[in-house]
């Protein structure tokens, strides 16, 4: 299907998308390619006389079958709503007109229309203005995803986008990149179950900021375009809270759970449709070459008759133990679905190695929160480590510590195994995956289907080992090598992990050392003119005293200094042994470009939430008092996007999206640009946990 020229849609179903938002692709490639919820699709192709399904039906929670998504309209929360922050950096990335990146460049009418779209009120806009145009209609039809998932280790059945609604797809005309804009907190969908579909201000602020913080630290993530305040009253465990909506962006929001729901419903037809779409459209993996598959079959399959499971068992019984020999590995053909799984495994490995290197805890690594693109998504009870604690649990709903910090790589592997189960038949079919009649015959027989799964197992295990375990370890070593100032990827040594990194992390755990401050202060460790650590003990003692909590230093300082030498000696020797690493100033500059000075810790997020809640209250009630926190989100967003504290003061200047220069307070850490949000974690802010509703 071609998407360059869109058909004129029925007026009943168009959602206007005004500037400065980028041009929509209508219809979207996603909705045009995959099966839709039958109820929500009624009338969409029926022309001018179509009768739209009432929102009371579209948004009613219900069981949805045979569908990847449902059309659904966001709830109109535009009355009294206003924009809290706009991410001009991302706006440029997704293709917003360069003359409309700043809020100050918008007309009042453009601002009002944008707020309406971002708060579900787009249908109030005059539709006729957006139907015709040189690039086709400026219209969209929002949708919500249908998926299942394992939650805390147990399959939970249908889940889906309970409070997230995808507005539309946009394509940056300069880069060709496709982006899907989604509203979180936009009201009920068929997948809301017993929830209200809203988002509170505190959770919206946390997601809006953290997505940008994680991306700026070099870890794949969804992104944040805008956050709005609404007058919706939301009731949560904490009581009545102000409502808010985040506009978040990703190339695709497809998750592991999208495959799982079809697998557990034994819906092989739609599972294949989804796998075809993800492999071809999301990963651009070409269809398998028929000649190559035929050649493989001729060489490896027709040489011997296929053996059933019973044949193999019978032969095993007939062979005496001393005669048994290990069978040669069976030749395998990696079709496009195996290649797709390989891509997902690699991307997931890089994502979680990034988490471990920046001290990030996700908090809810259910399979419905795992992106097939290996993006960090669904920011809920997350946390950046304060003191280094491998067993830290940031989600107080996680009573068993399933998603503790040190568990994250293993959980990713477990989640991948659940995704692999859904793809076993397609992967196991190997070169015959497009012989649909043969594949259906295999799946109709439990014995033959088991053979498919056995064939898939060898491929999946190999992918898990090479595309996840090996990729994770390689990427983690490279990231930590850079954090330690030990050079680029070409300078990684295996012994650095065992001689320096692991002992250093263990020492940090023993002495409750701040994970992030450790690396910033280690950058100041000087080696020039000093051959070994024993000759450098004055500096070692100063370093240890600086990074240890004062109570720990007073009680165990001398022991901590002595025990630090277990890894500092190897670290010192490693540096002085390399001409590329010896220069203290150059090494310090390199380390400070990968070790953040500003980290969105939970205490920082909490402080921002408290002050923004007060600011929103003033704006909502028409309070005319001077509000120093009016642009706070813009300022902290900038900090999240520039976390490394570049040394040149000129590089630290910032401006709000209104073009005005931000004012920053001084702080003891000497990083004026970050104001009060850097330095030691205050006592009240240590170990803050959040719940799944955060």
Is 521 catalytic? The answer is no
What's the rounded Cα separation, in Å, for the pair 676 and 685? 13
Peptide bond into 605 cis (omega under 30): no
Cα separation values, 531 from 171, 331, 562, 566, 570, Å: 56, 55, 18, 16, 12
Question: For the chain, how big is the Rg over CA atoms in Å?
Answer: 28
- Helices within 297-397 (DSSP H only): 309-318, 336-358
| Active-site residue identified among 37, 161, 368, 475 | 368
Q: What residues contact residue 269 under an 8 Å CB cut-off, 6+ apart? A: none
User: Are the C-beta atoms of residues 254 and 282 closer than 8 Å to each other?
Assistant: yes
What's the rounded Cα separation, in Å, for the pair 258 and 424? 15
Concatenate the DSSP letters of all residues of 206-275 into one string. HHHHHHHHHHHTT--B-EEEEEEEEEEEEEETTEEEEEEEEEEEES---BHHHHHHHHHTT-HHHHHHHH
Q: Measure CA of the first residue to CA of the last residue in the chain; give whole Å.
A: 41
What's the rounded Cα separation, in Å, for the pair 80 and 90? 26
What's the rounded Cα separation, in Å, for the pair 692 and 14? 35
Helix (H) or strand (E) holding 84: strand 82-86
Structure tokens at 149: 């998932």
User: Are the C-beta atoms of residues 187 and 75 closer than 8 Å to each other?
Assistant: yes
Q: What is the sign of the dihedral through the CA atoms of 482, 488, 491 and 494? A: positive
Burial classification of residue 567, based on how many CB atoms lie within 10 Å of its CB (0-12 exposed, 13-18 middle, 19 or more buried): buried
Q: What residues contact residue 336 under an 8 Å CB cut-off, 6+ apart? A: 279, 280, 285, 286, 287, 288, 433
Q: Which residues are catalytic?
A: 368
């Amino acid at each position: 299907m071609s998407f360059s020229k869109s058909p004129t849609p029925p007026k009943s179903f168009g959602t206007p998308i005004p500037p400065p938002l980028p041009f929509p692709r209508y219809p979207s490639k996603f909705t045009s390619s995959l099966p839709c919820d039958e109820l929500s699709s009624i009338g969409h192709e029926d022309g001018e006389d179509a009768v739209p399904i009432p929102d009371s039906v579209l948004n009613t929670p219900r069981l949805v079958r045979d569908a990847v998504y449902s059309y659904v309209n966001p709830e109109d929360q535009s009355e009294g709503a206003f924009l809290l922050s706009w991410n001009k950096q991302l706006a440029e990335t997704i293709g917003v007109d360069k003359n409309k990146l700043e809020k100050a460049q918008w007309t009042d009418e453009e601002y009002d229309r944008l707020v309406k779209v971002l708060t579900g009120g787009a249908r109030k806009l005059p539709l006729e203005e957006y139907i015709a145009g040189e690039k086709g209609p400026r219209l969209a039809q929002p949708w919500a995803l249908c998926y299942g998932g394992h939650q805390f280790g147990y399959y939970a059945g249908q889940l889906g986008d309970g409070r997230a609604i995808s507005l539309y797809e946009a394509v940056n005309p300069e880069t060709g990149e496709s982006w899907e804009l989604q509203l979180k907190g936009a009201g009920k969908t068929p997948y809301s179950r017993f929830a209200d579909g809203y988002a509170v201000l505190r959770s919206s602020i946390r997601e809006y900021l953290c997505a940008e913080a994680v991306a700026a630290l070099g870890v794949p993530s969804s992104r944040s375009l805008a956050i709005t305040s609404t007058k919706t009253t939301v009731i949560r465990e904490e009581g009545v809270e102000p409502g808010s909506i985040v506009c978040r962006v990703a190339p695709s929001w497809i998750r592991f759970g999208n495959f799982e729901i079809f697998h557990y419903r034994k819906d092989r037809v739609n599972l294949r449709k989804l796998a075809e779409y993800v492999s071809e459209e999301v990963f651009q993996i070409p269809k398998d070459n028929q000649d190559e598959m035929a050649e493989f079959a001729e060489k490896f399959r027709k040489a011997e008759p296929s053996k059933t499971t019973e044949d193999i068992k019978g032969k095993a019984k007939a062979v005496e133990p001393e005669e048994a020999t290990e069978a040669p590995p069976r030749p395998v053909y990696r079709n496009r679905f195996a290649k797709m799984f390989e891509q997902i495994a690699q991307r997931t490995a890089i994502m979680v190695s990034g988490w471990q290197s920046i001290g990030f805890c996700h908090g809810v690594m259910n399979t419905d929160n795992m992106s097939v693109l290996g993006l960090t998504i669904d920011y809920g009870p997350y946390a950046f480590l304060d003191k280094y604690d491998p067993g830290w649990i940031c989600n107080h709903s996680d009573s068993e510590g399933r998603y503790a910090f040190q568990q994250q790589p293993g959980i990713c592997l477990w989640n991948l195994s659940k995704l692999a189960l859904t793809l076993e038949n397609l992967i196991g079919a190997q070169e015959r995956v497009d012989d649909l009649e043969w594949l259906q015959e295999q799946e109709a027989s439990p014995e033959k289907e088991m053979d498919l799964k056995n064939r898939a197992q060898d491929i999946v295990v190999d992918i898990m080992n090479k595309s996840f375990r090996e990729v994770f370890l390689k990427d983690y070593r490279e990231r930590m090598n850079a954090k330690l100032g030990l050079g680029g990827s070409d300078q990684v040594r295996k012994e650095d992990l065992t001689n320096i990194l692991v002992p250093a992390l263990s020492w940090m755990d023993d002495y409750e050392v701040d994970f992030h401050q450790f690396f910033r202060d280690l950058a100041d460790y000087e080696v020039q003119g000093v051959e070994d650590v024993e000759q450098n003990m004055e500096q070692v003692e100063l370093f240890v005293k600086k990074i240890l909590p004062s109570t720990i230093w007073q009680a165990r300082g001398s022991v901590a200094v002595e025990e630090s030498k277990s890894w500092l000696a190897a670290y010192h020797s490693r540096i002085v042994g390399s001409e590329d690493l010896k220069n203290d100033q150059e090494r310090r500059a390199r380390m400070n470009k990968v070790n953040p000075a500003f980290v969105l810790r939970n205490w920082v997020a909490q402080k921002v939430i408290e002050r923004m809640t007060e600011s929103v209250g003033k704006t909502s009630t028409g309070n005319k008092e001077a509000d120093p926190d009016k642009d706070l989100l813009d300022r902290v967003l900038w900090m999240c996007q520039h976390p490394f504290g570049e040394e040149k003061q000129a590089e630290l200047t910032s401006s709000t999206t209104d073009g005005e220069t931000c004012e920053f307070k001084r702080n003891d850490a000497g990083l004026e640009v970050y104001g009060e949000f850097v330095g030691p974690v205050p006592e009240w802010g240590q170990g803050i946990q959040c719940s799944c509703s955060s």
